[in-house]
Chain A
C-alpha cells in the first residue's frame, strides 16, 4: 500500500509569490495534518483537517490556509511568501480525527524562498 505522498518534492519561489502544496493520505485515512519543519527544529503544527473540516490550527499567520477534498487529499496554500517560509513542509495522515493518533508522515516538500 502506498504511504502518504506529497508533491512537489522541491520548490523554489521568490518573495511575495504564493505556493500550493499537495498531499494524498494513506488509503482509508480521513485526517490530514500539515507541519512546517525548519532545519534543526521539530515539526511545527500548522493545520489538521478531518472530514473536510478544520479541526486544529497552529500559530501561523492568515497567509497560511488549507483545505481537504472529498477524497481526503489536501492542499496547503501560502500567500505573500517570506524568506522565513523556507522550510520542509510535511503532511501526515491518521485514520480519524478523534483523539491522539499516530501520525504517518510523507517525505515532505522542500520549499526555498529567494
Chain B
C-alpha cells in the first residue's frame, strides 16, 4: 500500500554509457527524494521533487517527477566510475519516510 518500487534492481554499464532508474508508487506522491549510497557508506541526499512534471538537473544527473506524481526517474548521462553505488528514492507519508529497495549501479571501466 505505502511502498515505493524501483526498477531495475541491478544495472551494469560500461563507463560512458547512460543509466536510468525508475521509482513507482501506486498512490499519488506529495514529494519524492533521491539518495545515493556508496558501497560501505551511508545514504547521501541528492534532490527533492514536489511539483508535477518537475525536471531538475545536477551536472550529468537529471531527475524527473511524473505528471501524475506517481513515478519518478533518475538519469545519468555518460556514467563514470564515481557513479557506482545504490540509488534510492523515498517518499514521506503520514510522518513516515519510506525508502524504495534501490537500484545498484556498477560501472565497468
Contacts and interface: CB of A to CB of B under 8 A. Distances in A.
Nearest to B89: A42
Given A100-B33, A103-B43, A105-B44, A42 B88 contact: yes
A97 to B, nearest CB: 8
Interface residues of B, number: 24
A55 B95 CA distance: 6
Interface stretch (B12-20, B64-72, B73-81, B98-106): B98-106
Interface residues of A, number: 23
A54 B50 CA distance: 25
B45 A90 contact: no
A102 B33 CA distance: 8
Contacts of B30: 100
A34 B42 CA distance: 13
Given A42-B102, A102-B48, A58 B96 contact: yes
Nearest to B100: A42
A106 interface: yes
B42 A105 contact: yes
Residue of A33, A35, A100 most packed against chain B (CB within 10 A): A100
Nearest to A56: B95
A64 interface: no
A25 interface: no
Contacts of A43: 43, 88, 99
Nearest to B4: A42
B52 interface: no
Contact of B96 (A56, A90, A99): A56
B92 interface: yes
A48 B102 CA distance: 22
Nearest to A45: B97
B31 interface: yes
